[in-house]
Amino acid sequence: MSEEVSPMVVDVIPGNMAIAHGVRLSRVQVIPVYPITPQTTIAEYLAEFVANGELDAEFIEIEGEHSGMAACYGASLAGARTFTATCSHGLAYMHEPITQVTAYRLPIVMAVTNRKLGGLHTGQPDYTDTMPERDTGWMQFYLESNQEALDTIIQTYRIAEDVRITLPAMVCIDGFYLSFSYEPVEIPDQEDVDAFLPPFEAKHIIMDPTERFESPLLTAPSEVIPTYERLYDDAFEKAKRLIEEVDREFDEQFGRSYGGLVERYKCEDAEAVLVTIGSMTTAARRAVDKLRGTGEKIGLIKLRSYRPFPNEILRKVACEVEAMAVVDRSTSRGVGSRGGPVFIDTKAAIYDVDERPVALNFIAGLFGRDIRIEDFEYMAKKTLRAVREGKLDGAIDYMENLEAVKKYSPPPEPQIPMPDSAYCPGLRGCIGCGLTLAMRHIFDVLGKNSVMAVPSSCAGANVLGAPFTSPLGVPHVISNLAAAGGVITGLKRALRIREKHYVNVFGLCGDGGTVDLGLQSLSGAAERGEPVIWICYDNEGYMNTGIQRSGSTPVGAWTTTTPIGPKSRGKKAPRKNVPLLMALHGIPFVATASLAYIHDFKRKLRKASEVTLRGDGLAYIHVQQPCPTGWLFPSEKTIEIAKLAVLTGVWPVYEVENGELKVNIRLKQLRPIEEYLRLQRRFRHLTEEEVTQVQETVSRQWEELIRLEKAGLPKVF
């Protein structure tokens, strides 16, 4: 260890904060990020660093992951050190621009807090999100601890930006197991990190006309593509040596090493080894220690680098042991040899070994299920038994919990039995949640002859009951966050061709799934004239993921991604006016609503049902949903705040039918905006001058709405 290194601060922090500190210490310059559990606090910590002046960076509260990765490659093309973070459905949504990054060989670093991907929803981890990205040309590192997370972020920038390779990289930590779990972490001194990681100097492409004229290659003749791919593979081969080199240098400076590509643990005289990746490795170590204590010759290989894959090291290990047991936290469906992706890659790597060891695969930890020390003991004993008895009791072990299967008895195609009524009380919302009240009245009006799509959101969490149950008595599906418009379009078209014209089809979407990610699918459904209902419940932020800013968050509001500090005064931009935007689409019915005026809300729901069942086109209702958790007010004040929003003019209640705007709740005089703001701690930082500015804005917007009612909307349809 270098004697020059400064004393380090030791703190007990979660994995997401360790990632954020690594980004801060790496002096990242541009950070586009969109919140998704369990990545969210990475964005929040970085927003705090920027707001407090601890990190000089452009923090972009992007409207979705697709744009987030696009912003990353735009920033990298312009010569900035760039970072983002995501997981699961967000990573899948990024897939297209992820492949663009590899085409340009940009050294972007992305943290992934692994979480299951797919229609059966959970926030818990497995590797179904990152494994599909393994062949896109990104390096992938899977980490065991929070300390390794911080250190690997710093190492990865040094690796990715090296002119010998210039490759993007994913730094993967298990969601919840590491992202939110606290561990002691040594935080290096900034000067020492600066000595290890020099400032970024783009050596590839800089889209900056003040320096030089360059643009990325847009296309190429097919004849050169094989050479291009070979050069990319060459870069990955060089990356193997570079990863080892950087880890050694990091050890020399900071006194910590992670083995480079892999870490061997008690392999010297081992008959068999367990092969693991990620946080499961810690439990595997304990199992190895325990079995070694009883005389069993078992070792452990931790794959830190999955891409590039350490073929040569695994071949060497294969020559030294009689069996290798690979533990996968995901599957590779439809592959003839079966098994998980790490197992398949491992078998391919050791294929050329003259005397190949026995290879077993254990599929474990799916859907976030804990892999216990005793599970690894079982794996090790089964592997050693295969060595000694010379036979396998199945090469692939899915570690099934047959007792759970018997208990829940799920059908092959998971289905949920419907209650007798459209809505049962007792949803899982927060105390005082306005959405719970809204849902009761929505289902009271629309009834049992309805089908609903709800994106991942507060509503999505609300409709999840105990396993294979639901509090709703209508068919419903959780859609992708950006795609509710497509889902309800498909539902309506199928019901129409089956002559079920009397069924209400609607989307129940939060502001994120409406004004941000969902806006494209909403606009498309409106433009096509799809006869479906879109209900936006607007809690003015991403509340389900921890109170992040959305495109519907008011100016000046505190959120976890628009914090208050020397460099930040809350949200800077005004909220999007989506109801008027939808009116300008020329759809037959648009309305705003308030939970404080339930009769008006229910009348508008009935009108939306009539309009869509006639086949006139899309009906859009935008209802404000005060959120005690996110707006920081006592839970018993939900309706009081909803009413004040209307009476102060913050939330005007109106409708637009066939292009004619009508204000439903007319006010002779607006109540002072301070009455509304002072009940919510998200606005408590506002100065008198800032409150006056908000008042002036609200008054001007109210006057403009009244003018529009008299003059009529622009006849653009």
694 in the same domain as 567? yes
Compute the distance between CA of residue 284 and CA of residue 365 in angstroms, rounded to an integer.
Answer: 13
270 in the same domain as 235? no
Torsions phi, psi of 151, nearest 5?
A: -65, -35
Which of 235, 254, 273 represents a domain boundary (last residue)? Answer: 254
Quick: pLDDT tens for 619-663. 999 999 999 999 999 999 999 999 999 999 999 999 999 999 999
457 in the same domain as 599? yes
Quick: pLDDT tens for 154-207. 999 999 999 999 999 999 999 999 999 999 999 999 999 999 999 998 877 778
Q: Is residue 331 part of a domain?
A: yes
Specify the range with the lowest mean pLDDT, choosing from 285-294, 409-418, 501-510, 690-699. Answer: 409-418
Residue corresponding to tokens 């037959």: 588
Q: Is residue 410 part of a domain?
A: no
pLDDT value of residue 78: 92
Q: Do the beta carbons of residue 288 and residue 300 sit within 8 Å?
A: yes
124 in the same domain as 43? yes
Q: Is residue 421 part of a domain?
A: no
Q: Is the pLDDT of residue 427 over 80?
A: no
State the pLDDT confidence band at 538, using cuts at 50, 70 and 90: very high
Q: Is residue 425 part of a domain?
A: no
Residue corresponding to tokens 């981890």: 125
Which of 400, 420, 444 represents a domain boundary (last residue)? Answer: 400
Quick: pLDDT tens for 363-394. 999 999 999 999 999 999 999 999 998 877 67
pLDDT value of residue 416: 64
588 in the same domain as 450? yes
Closest Cα partner for 659 from 590, 578, 557?
Answer: 590
Quick: pLDDT tens for 29-51. 999 999 999 999 999 999 999 99
DSSP state of 445: H
Q: Is the pLDDT of residue 472 over 90?
A: no
Q: Is the pLDDT of residue 2 over 50?
A: no
Q: Is residue 414 part of a domain?
A: no
CATH number of the domain bearing residue 385: 3.40.50.920
Compute the distance between CA of residue 291 and CA of residue 530 in angstroms, rounded to an integer.
Answer: 63
State the pLDDT confidence band at 414, using cuts at 50, 70 and 90: low
pLDDT value of residue 3: 46
Question: Exposed, middle or buried, 418 (CB in 10 Å: 0-12/13-18/19+)?
Answer: middle
Mean pLDDT value across the chain: 93
Q: Is the pLDDT of residue 410 over 80?
A: no
Q: Do the beta carbons of residue 246 and residue 155 sit within 8 Å?
A: yes
Contacts of 193 (CB under 8 A, 6+ apart): 25, 26, 154
Q: Is residue 39 part of a domain?
A: yes
Residue, of 399 and 276, whose pLDDT is higher: 276
Residue, of 417 and 189, whose pLDDT is higher: 189
Q: Tell me the H-state helices in 197-340.
A: 225-254, 280-292, 311-320
Residues of the domain holding 309: 262-400
Q: Do the beta carbons of residue 206 and residue 79 sit within 8 Å?
A: yes
Average of pLDDT values for 254-277? 98
pLDDT value of residue 1: 41
152 in the same domain as 42? yes
Q: Is the pLDDT of residue 208 over 90?
A: no
Bridge partners, residue 323, by sequence: 272, 358
pLDDT value of residue 215: 74
Q: Could you tell me how many residues make up the chain?
A: 717
pLDDT value of residue 391: 76
286 in the same domain as 226? no
State the pLDDT confidence band at 294, using cuts at 50, 70 and 90: very high
682 in the same domain as 618? yes
Compute the distance between CA of residue 444 and CA of residue 447 in angstroms, rounded to an integer.
Answer: 6
Q: Do the beta carbons of residue 142 and residue 278 sit within 8 Å?
A: yes
Q: Is the pLDDT of residue 582 over 70?
A: yes
CATH number of the domain bearing residue 577: 3.40.50.970
222 in the same domain as 105? yes
Instruction: Count Cα neighbours of 568 within 13 Å in the Cβ-side half-sphere.
Output: 27
Q: Is residue 428 part of a domain?
A: no
Specify the range with the lowest mean pLDDT, choosing from 279-293, 435-449, 529-543, 673-687. Answer: 435-449
270 in the same domain as 245? no
Quick: pLDDT tens for 211-254. 776 777 778 889 998 999 999 999 999 999 999 999 999 999 99
pLDDT value of residue 421: 80
pLDDT value of residue 425: 76
Number of folded domains that form the chain:
3
Which of 218, 238, 254 represents a domain boundary (last residue)? Answer: 254
Q: Is residue 462 part of a domain?
A: yes
State the pLDDT confidence band at 715, using cuts at 50, 70 and 90: confident
Compute the distance between CA of residue 683 and CA of residue 559 in angstroms, rounded to an integer.
Answer: 10
178 in the same domain as 153? yes
Compute the distance between CA of residue 646 and CA of residue 670 in angstroms, rounded to an integer.
Answer: 9
271 in the same domain as 233? no
